[in-house]
């Protein structure tokens, strides 16, 4: 069982597979020398003869050959599988980049994670153990046949003929195993996808008291996964039992022929012992192949899904076809994540090439969907979304990603240094450029008190406050130096000081860039050139802050409600007693 697609993916692995087989074969020769020496010694002892010195020398040579071959075999096996995981994961990552941000429409994120982690681990075993054993299982019985045939041709023939019964068993099992393992991976991916979806939507499920229903549904999925897992284990254990019976039966048949020949005087005591001690070696390689077969089948099931992912149709690569200074315009644009449930309805708006445009509205009104359409994350919209007079859906997404930078709530930071995270936006940026972006985001002073650009960050910047994380994300976006910036709730859930620092930087940025601010807090967008008010997926008003207060009822309601709430919050805060003392690190940690 070999997959040419995998061999073509990592062609350099085959030379290490061949090296592994070669060392296994050398180890087999050493074992044959060892068995020959032991048989000679036992035969000599049975007849009362002295053991020749050459037998002892051969014994030590056999032991040394096995030890050396085993050591180098393990190294070659590791080298065969070394690059498999790295190559596959890089190919999957590059494929996702080509598919774009909306790859989830084609394959769930949970399935991608499972294939990238466990699926690749299974294929490491395929290259490092299964493939070498596949070739060795063919080579070893043939080698042993030529060693045993001069001693007893009938015994050698019986042993060799019984060996193919094991692969026949494997082929029979494969037909059942392929179906079961395919179902296993389907259930595995479905359970992982449900778990990730429920985890991400846990707050919403709690709010609408739907968590109990989802809990029951996930228990049912877990039970289906348990059942198919037990089927896999049952299939594996039953096939192992069958292969053991075949292997032991074949070895016993060969031994019986050798004993019968010895009784008839056709084979001497040495020959009988030599055949008996080697008979199991005819079947051990094929038996070991049967053990690796189950892991290989699991890996092949994962490989099928990996190659299905790699074969997904990609958006056609198209040039950007725009120049810096081109602006966005939406004309009667509508969009729905699910048919019959529109999120946007006939939205029209204009984003000038310089200046600040704001989009406001209650949660669920479609603000973030507009941000996604501007960034080219979805192309299944009706109407028009233009950039420089060209439909966004017709623009190469990689080029569009360099043209539009989106800074959302909780932008991800990777474990490493500040420099590592910043260079993701501009790999060729100098330290001076990085410090300039950090200063723009009002974070340079803080990092100057730490280890500068070598300041270590934990995963997702957990050792920073929420405001510091968001300012670092802003600095990274600034370093990208794209013509258009979209801030999607970028100041949510952070401290007041950081919110003011970010909005100050946004206002400064809007002096020479196109900036779109999506915010639930109207106080952050009162200075915008144009504010678009969304309600139920439609634009119900547009204009400056003063104009909307005078003529847009939805905006008036939002403004009055937030003003009253902030007044109460301010009054409560002023009435609360101040802590006796708090250093800056405590404030930062609390933030």
pLDDT(582) > 50? no
Q: In percent, how much of the chain has pLDDT > 90?
A: 2
**C-alpha–C-alpha distance, residues 275 and 253, integer Å:** 11
Residue 227 pLDDT class (50, 70, 90 cuts): confident
Nearest Cα residue to 320 out of 227, 400, 438? 400
pLDDT(101) > 70? no
| CB contact at 8 A, 283 and 251 | yes
Q: Is the dihedral of CA 494, 498, 504, 505 positive or negative?
A: negative
**C-alpha–C-alpha distance, residues 503 and 515, integer Å:** 12
- C-alpha atoms less than 13 angstroms from C-alpha of 330 in its C-beta half-sphere: 24
Residue 588 pLDDT class (50, 70, 90 cuts): very low
**C-alpha–C-alpha distance, residues 528 and 519, integer Å:** 12
Predicted local distance difference test score (pLDDT) of residue 123:
78
The DSSP result for 56-117, as a single string, is: HHHHHHHHHHHHHHHHHHHHHHHHHHHHHHHHHHHHHHHHHHHH-GGGGGTS-HHHHHHIII
Q: Residue 538 is encoded by which pair of tokens?
A: 């439609």
Residue 57 pLDDT class (50, 70, 90 cuts): confident
Q: Each residue of 385-408: pLDDT tens digit? A: 888 778 887 777 777 878 888 887
pLDDT(89) > 80? yes
Q: Which is the CATH superfamily of the domain at 83-310?
A: ABC transporter type 1, transmembrane domain (1.20.1560.10)
Nearest Cα residue to 360 out of 562, 492, 518, 514? 518
Residue of higher predicted confidence among 38 and 497? 38
All structural domains of the chain with their residue ranges: 83-310, 328-575
Q: Each residue of 326-381: pLDDT tens digit? A: 678 888 888 888 777 888 888 888 888 888 888 888 877 888 888 888 888 877 78
**C-alpha–C-alpha distance, residues 445 and 129, integer Å:** 54
| CB contact at 8 A, 261 and 154 | yes
**C-alpha–C-alpha distance, residues 92 and 119, integer Å:** 12
Among the ranges given (110-114, 116-120, 291-295), the one the predictor scored with the smallest mean pLDDT: 291-295
Per DSSP, 525 falls in state S
Alpha helices in 311-430 (DSSP H): 367-374, 397-403, 418-423
Q: Each residue of 244-267: pLDDT tens digit? A: 777 778 888 888 888 888 888 888
> For the structural domain made of 328-575, what CATH number should be given?
3.40.50.300
- C-alpha atoms less than 13 angstroms from C-alpha of 216 in its C-beta half-sphere: 3
Tokens 């810096």 belong to which residue? Answer: 324
């Amino acid at each position: 069982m070999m997959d040419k697609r995998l061999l073509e993916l990592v062609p350099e692995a085959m030379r290490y597979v061949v090296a592994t087989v070669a060392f296994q074969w050398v180890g087999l020769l050493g074992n044959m020398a060892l068995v020959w020496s032991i048989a000679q010694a036992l035969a000599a002892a049975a007849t009362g003869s002295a053991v020749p010195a050459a037998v002892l020398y051969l014994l030590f040579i056999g032991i040394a050959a096995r030890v050396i071959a085993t050591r180098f075999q393990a190294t070659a096996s590791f080298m065969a599988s070394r690059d498999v995981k790295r190559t596959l994961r890089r190919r999957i990552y590059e494929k996702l980049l080509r598919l774009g941000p909306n790859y989830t429409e084609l394959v769930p994120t949970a399935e991608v994670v499972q294939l990238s982690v466990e699926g690749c681990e299974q294929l490491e075993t395929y290259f490092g153990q299964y493939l070498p054993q596949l070739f060795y299982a063919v080579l070893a019985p043939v080698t042993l046949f030529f060693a045993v045939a001069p001693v007893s041709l009938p015994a050698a023939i019986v042993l060799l003929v019984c060996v193919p019964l094991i692969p026949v068993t494997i082929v029979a099992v494969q037909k059942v195993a392929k179906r079961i393992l395919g179902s296993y991976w389907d259930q595995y991916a479905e359970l992982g996808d449900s778990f990730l979806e429920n985890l991400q939507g846990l707050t919403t499920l709690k709010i609408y008291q739907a968590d109990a229903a989802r809990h029951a549904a996930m228990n049912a999925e877990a039970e289906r996964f348990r059942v198919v897992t037990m089927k896999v284990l049952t299939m594996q254990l039953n096939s192992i039992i069958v292969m053991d019976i075949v292997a032991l039966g074949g070895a016993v048949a060969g031994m019986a022929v050798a004993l019968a020949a010895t009784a008839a005087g056709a084979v001497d005591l040495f020959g009988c012992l030599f055949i008996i001690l080697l008979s199991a070696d005819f079947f051990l390689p094929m038996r070991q192949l049967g053990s690796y077969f189950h892991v290989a089948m699991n890996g092949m099931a994962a490989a099928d899904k990996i190659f299905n992912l790699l074969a997904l149709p990609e958006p056609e690569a198209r040039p950007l076809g725009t120049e810096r200074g081109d602006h966005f315009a939406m004309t009667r644009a509508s969009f729905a994540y699910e048919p019959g449930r529109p999120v946007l309805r006939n939205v029209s708006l204009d984003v000038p090439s310089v200046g600040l445009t704001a989009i406001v509205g209650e949660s669920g009104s479609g603000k973030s969907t507009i941000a996604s359409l501007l960034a080219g994350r979805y192309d299944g919209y009706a109407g028009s979304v233009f950039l420089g007079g060209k439909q966004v859906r017709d623009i190469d997404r990689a080029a569009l990603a360099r043209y539009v930078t989106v800074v959302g709530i909780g932008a991800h930071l990777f474990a490493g240094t500040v420099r590592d995270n910043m260079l993701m936006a501009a790999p060729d940026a100098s330290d001076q450029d990085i410090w300039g972006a950090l200063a723009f985001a009002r974070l340079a002073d803080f990092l100057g008190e730490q280890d500068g650009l070598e300041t270590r960050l934990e995963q997702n910047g957990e050792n920073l406050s929420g405001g510091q994380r968001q300012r670092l994300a802003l600095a990274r976006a600034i370093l990208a130096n794209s013509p258009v910036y979209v801030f999607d709730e970028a100041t949510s859930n952070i401290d007041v000081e950081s919110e003011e620092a970010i909005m100050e930087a946004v206002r400064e940025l809007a002096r020479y860039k196109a900036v779109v601010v999506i915010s639930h807090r109207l106080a952050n967008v009162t200075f915008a050139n144009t504010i678009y008010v969304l309600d139920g997926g439609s634009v119900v008003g547009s204009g400056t802050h003063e104009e909307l207060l005078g003529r847009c009822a939805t905006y008036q309601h939002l403004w009055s409600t937030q003003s009253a709430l902030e007044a109460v919050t301010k009054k409560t805060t002023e009435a609360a007693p101040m802590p006796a003392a708090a250093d800056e690190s405590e404030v930062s940690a609390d933030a």
